[in-house]
Structure 1
Amino acid sequence: MKEGSTVQKRIIVGYDGSSWSDDALTWALEEAEHTGEPVELVHADEWPVLAPAASMVPSPDLSPELYVERIIESTLDRAVETARTTHPLVPLTTTTVRAHAATALIDRSRHARLLVLGGRGHSAVAGLFGSVSAAVTAHAHCPVVVIRGAQSATGPVVAGVDDTAAAPAVLVFAAEQATMLKAPLHVIHAWPPVTGIWAETPMATWTITAQEREPFDTEVTVIRDTFPNLRIEAEAVVEHPAAALTRASDGAQLLVVGSRGRGAVRGLLLGSVSQHLLRHSACPVAVVHDSLAMS
């Protein structure tokens, strides 16, 4: 973390009352029990956004705005009651923000160590699969964990890295998670195979040279030195990264990857591999930004 940083050590959960957000809350509470950090439930009240269209729909006895507020309050109260029963020692607060779900969560992530989302949700303005998750993972100011699939109780933490600036941050985050979970760390660097007209030429060796592998080996060595008690397996393969990491996610506790988004259209540049994993991983996925490599 940069000196003078104002980031608070908290875990934020995007919560909308769906079963997916319940899973996200459970994961965050387990994380908080290990770290001692407080958890904040953030609910995006999108009614002000939808109000113009909703004005054409017959309203209940209460004013629409008050009706929505009471539903949100009831939803959060139930979540807090359950959390305090299952994890009584974890400090838990709730926040309601009047904004699009993605906008609200991205803004709150400025004050978080970690943000946790369900793989799907009930956002009224985010009907397409994964649209909120994709936007938040691309724009968030902290690592984002998207809960999907099944989390193994005994499997490894898997880190998928490449030769970009995000790799060091991905490895540190994954190593910290593996240490906390007392799990081994499985690091994978996948080089896409040669395809098309070059597939039948001498260029398609299906091997990785020592020179190609050297930066990867150096990064793994740094992690081994930093976490000497952590069991680490490093694997370099010739396979499409999306396929290799999807396969490795089966039986893993967590899959950690990087995001290379940039600039005003960053949400469109999360990366095809990360986007694929957010839809097809067999376990929860953590997305760590390259900007965190310098923090």
Structure 2
Amino acid sequence: MTATTAVTPAVAASAEYPPERHRPRVTIGTDGSTWGDAALEWALRHAWLVNAGLKVYSAKTSDDHAIARRLDVYRWLNASVTTSDDSPEQTLLTASTETDLLVLGHHGHSPHNLSIGHLVLPLVTHSHCDTVIVRGEPRAVRAEHGWVTAAVGGSHDDAVIRRAAEIATRYRDGLRIVHAWPLPGPRAVPSKAEPNEVLEKARALVAKLVPTLTPSLHLVRSRPHEAVETCSRSDLLVMGPGSEPGQLSAVTRTALHLAPCPVLVVRP
């Protein structure tokens, strides 16, 4: 497909955070399904808000004219559209080495094209960059709630807080920080830190990164994977992949399947 380009938008960046090192790059894979289209719309809006370049990988099942119409709405973005003869998984994994954020719908048409439903777990597990899985209720997908939620209590809390604070600042949203404190029981894993210490450390990091941003702190008394259901009225849930290399945690897998909003998994 012929690349589609447009004039770069002049979007005002935060004077305090994040520091400008290079122009962000966003990559979206779509197959023309309902959730593929939703992921494309999410990626377009996000790229506009963070002043990023956008690259669209289109499957054979995609409607090129529909993609062109959506890009025309954001014609000031520096955007391109391309296809690949490689498998969907290989195409997007390769793309993840050259971008800052990979955006996917949580489900597609079928496993015979760029169907994200069957690729979500392997792509999020092995992606070389942050990954957003677009899912959830319509208001969250359209980013109408005005809240970004960061799930802390894992080994990648600093990266999670940094990403969440950056996006909340760019979106001009509120920041909610959630920590799940497990209920006592035979299968409960003892925490290495007191729950209030986890939240206080997160609050202190936000204060250092964005002094003008005051997060809302929430301690949820439940199993971590059950806390995913408490993230309603959020536009984005930011979390880590888990502590085991090459393997997503049970909490992250639960969020990818059940979260009521899009999920961003950081790549530390």
- Paired position in structure 2 for 1:39: 54
- Measured in 2, the distance between the counterparts of 1:262 and 1:214 equals 23
Work out whether residues 114 and 145 of structure 1, in 8 Å CA contact, stay in contact via their aligned partners in 2: yes
Q: Which amino acid aligns with 1:238?
A: R
Deviation at 1:211, TM superposition (A): 4.3
1:232 aligns with 2:215: yes
Aligned runs of 1:84-163 on 2, under 5 Å? 84-125=71-112, 130-149=117-136, 150=138, 151=140, 152-163=143-154
Aligned runs of 1:148-187 on 2, under 5 Å? 148-149=135-136, 150=138, 151=140, 152-164=143-155, 166-187=156-177
Work out whether residues 152 and 179 of structure 2, in 8 Å CA contact, stay in contact via their aligned partners in 1: yes
CA RMSD of aligned residues (A): 2.8
- Measured in 2, the distance between the counterparts of 1:209 and 1:136 equals 30
- Measured in 2, the distance between the counterparts of 1:87 and 1:37 equals 12
Q: What TM-score does the superposition give when structure 1 sets the normalisation length? A: 0.74
Larger radius of gyration: 1
Per the alignment, do residues 209 and 139 of structure 1 end up closer, same or farther by CA in structure 2, a change over 3 Å counting? closer
Work out whether residues 190 and 237 of structure 1, in 8 Å CA contact, stay in contact via their aligned partners in 2: yes
- Paired position in structure 1 for 2:258: 280
Unmatched tracts of structure 1, length 5 or more: 45-71
- Paired position in structure 1 for 2:179: 189
- Measured in 2, the distance between the counterparts of 1:163 and 1:197 equals 18
- Measured in 2, the distance between the counterparts of 1:239 and 1:126 equals 39
- Measured in 1, the distance between the counterparts of 2:133 and 2:91 equals 16
Corresponding residue SS for 2:176: strand
Deviation at 1:154, TM superposition (A): 3.0
Task: Give the ranges of 4+ consecutive aligned residues of structure 1 lying more than 3 Å apart after TM superposition.
Answer: 125-130, 208-213
The correspondence for 1:258, drawn from 213, 225, 240, is 240
Q: Quick one: percent identity of the two aligned structures?
A: 29
- Measured in 2, the distance between the counterparts of 1:197 and 1:167 equals 23
Unmatched tracts of structure 2, length 5 or more: 1-20
Deviation at 1:227, TM superposition (A): 0.7
| Bigger proportion of residues as helix | 1
- Measured in 1, the distance between the counterparts of 2:91 and 2:226 equals 33
Per the alignment, do residues 211 and 284 of structure 1 end up closer, same or farther by CA in structure 2, a change over 3 Å counting? closer
- Paired position in structure 2 for 1:18: 33
Work out whether residues 8 and 111 of structure 1, in 8 Å CA contact, stay in contact via their aligned partners in 2: no
